């Protein structure tokens, strides 16, 4: 490409020298023709990477290891000049997400679409984008890149495995009954209603009883008679054992596996175990909390439901 352009420059210089020395119009005509070709190629190459509309769309921004993440791309030519070719390079850091594409000839106003599906093999937060668009002229004299800095992100949750039974510690003393204590916090256990007091949250108002009695009444809650389940994850660096390949674990490491293997790291195994245990107790309807240090404290207050599992 550079050699072609250099050859044209040499021809232009020789034609100009020949024109000055001989005064013949033939040399000046050659200069005008090749100079016009260079100028037209320069303008065409610049126009090829402009007046473009490039979009990427994802239905979800969250996935889990073992699931497929799909992304849709669309390129629209907004100019009156056709695009001979476009090379679109995606610089996303999601492992195995090969969404780069070579777009063929595009007529004015046309749109080119493609879809990319990627198997998520590593947990974490990843960046989608930026992108680089490259194009050139028909003669291959010039190639211009254009950087598109727009980015978005995707969170890939750790893999979890089904647990069918998990033994939990029970009380050592027999007899007695569950202690029920009233609490100002909102819990899954409603204990009754009382009159509204300044400072009560509006989402605690029991509207049916309020309409029936003609005054504001709020719900009272009590602590769960069952103990909370706490998942405490040890992420201490002193207890970490891993192979060097764990840092670069990607799609190529699971290409020929029937299942999704974990990276060779005790940290990854501990995270998968913690997530699986939390999933087990959430599905049993228990209140689950989470605590770890990474090195900052990560604390999730005990609660129930699928949203709690997502937070953990």
∠ at Cα 79 (2, 3), nearest 5°? 5
3-state SS assignment for residue 176:
coil
**Residue 228 DSSP label:** P
∠ at Cα 125 (120, 129), nearest 5°? 85
The arrangement of strands across the sheet holding 52-57 comes to 52-57, 68-77, 111-119
Residue 69: strand pairing partners: 118
52, with CB counted inside 10 A (0-12, 13-18, 19+), is: buried
pLDDT at 224: 62
Query: Residue 121, Cβ neighbours under 10 Å: how many?
Result: 24
Q: What is the pTM of this model?
A: 0.76
What is the Cα–Cα distance from 228 to 301, expressed in whole angstroms?
10
Q: Are 182 and 220 in contact (CB under 8 A)?
A: yes
What is the Cα–Cα distance from 291 to 298, expressed in whole angstroms?
6
Helices (H), the chain: 2-22, 25-48, 207-213, 266-283, 306-311
Q: What is the dihedral of CA 10, 12, 16, 17, to 10 degrees?
A: 10
pLDDT at 199: 76
Which is it for strands 190-195 and 217-222: parallel, antiparallel or unpaired? antiparallel
Q: Residue 128, CB half-sphere, CA atoms under 13 Å: how many?
A: 21
pLDDT at 228: 82
Q: Residue 35, CB half-sphere, CA atoms under 13 Å: how many?
A: 11
Which residues of the chain, if any, have pLDDT below 70?
Answer: 1-2, 169-189, 222-226, 246, 250-258
C-alpha separations of 178 from 167, 170, 304 in Å: 20, 13, 19
């Amino acid at each position: 490409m550079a050699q072609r352009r250099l050859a044209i420059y040499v021809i232009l210089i020789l034609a100009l020298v020949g024109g000055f020395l001989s005064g013949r119009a033939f040399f000046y005509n050659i200069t005008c023709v090749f100079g016009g070709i260079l100028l037209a190629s320069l303008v065409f190459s610049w126009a090829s990477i402009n007046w473009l509309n490039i979009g990427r769309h994802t239905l979800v921004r969250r996935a889990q290891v073992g699931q497929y993440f799909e992304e849709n791309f669309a390129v629209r030519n907004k100019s009156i000049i056709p695009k001979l070719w476009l090379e679109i390079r995606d610089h996303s850091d999601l492992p195995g997400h090969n969404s780069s594409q070579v777009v063929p000839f595009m007529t004015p106003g046309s749109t080119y679409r493609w879809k990319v599906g990627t198997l998520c093999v590593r947990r974490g937060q990843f960046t989608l984008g930026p992108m680089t668009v490259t194009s050139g002229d028909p003669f291959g004299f010039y190639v211009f890149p254009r950087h598109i800095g727009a980015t978005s992100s995707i969170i890939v949750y750790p893999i979890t495995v089904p647990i069918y039974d998990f033994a939990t510690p029970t009380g050592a003393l027999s007899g007695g009954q569950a202690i029920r204590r009233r609490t100002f916090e909102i819990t899954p256990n409603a204990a009754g209603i009382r009159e509204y007091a300044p400072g009560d949250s509006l989402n605690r108002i029991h509207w049916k009883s309020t309409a029936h009695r003609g005054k504001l009444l709020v719900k009272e809650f009590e602590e769960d008679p069952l103990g909370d389940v706490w998942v405490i994850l040890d992420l201490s660096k002193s207890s970490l054992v891993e192979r060097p390949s764990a840092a670069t674990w990607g799609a190529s490491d699971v290409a020929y596996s029937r299942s999704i293997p974990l990276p060779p790291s005790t940290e990854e195994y501990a995270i998968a175990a913690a997530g699986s245990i939390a999933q087990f107790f959430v599905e049993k309807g228990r209140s689950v909390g989470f605590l770890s240090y990474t090195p900052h404290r990560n604390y999730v207050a005990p609660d129930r439901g699928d949203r709690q599992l997502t937070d953990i």
